[in-house]
């Protein structure tokens, strides 16, 4: 949700439902930066979960050798 849903909702709201003056404001830039950080965190968590999912298999194979 942090990396996909929340940034998509925030950027869509800013793109289609906010006035032009708001898009150029400091608050809009902070919201955009926050959604970019959310995408980075979501990508990191996805990679971490893929690695952690493979870790028990690797340890099991190492113990059987």
pLDDT at 56: 74
Task: Give 5-62 pLDDT, tens digit per residue.
Answer: 888 888 888 888 888 888 788 998 998 899 999 899 999 999 998 888 887 776 666 6
pLDDT at 47: 92
Q: How far is CA 34 from CA 10, 41, 64, in A?
A: 9, 10, 46
pLDDT at 20: 82
pLDDT at 62: 61
Query: What is the SS3 assignment for 24?
Result: coil
pLDDT at 58: 65
């Amino acid at each position: 949700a942090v990396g996909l849903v929340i940034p998509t909702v925030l950027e869509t709201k800013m793109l289609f439902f906010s006035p032009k003056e708001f898009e150029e404001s400091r608050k809009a830039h902070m919201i955009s930066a926050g959604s970019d950080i959310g995408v980075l965190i979501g990508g990191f968590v996805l990679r971490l979960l893929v690695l952690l999912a493979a870790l028990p298999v690797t340890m099991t194979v190492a113990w059987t050798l």
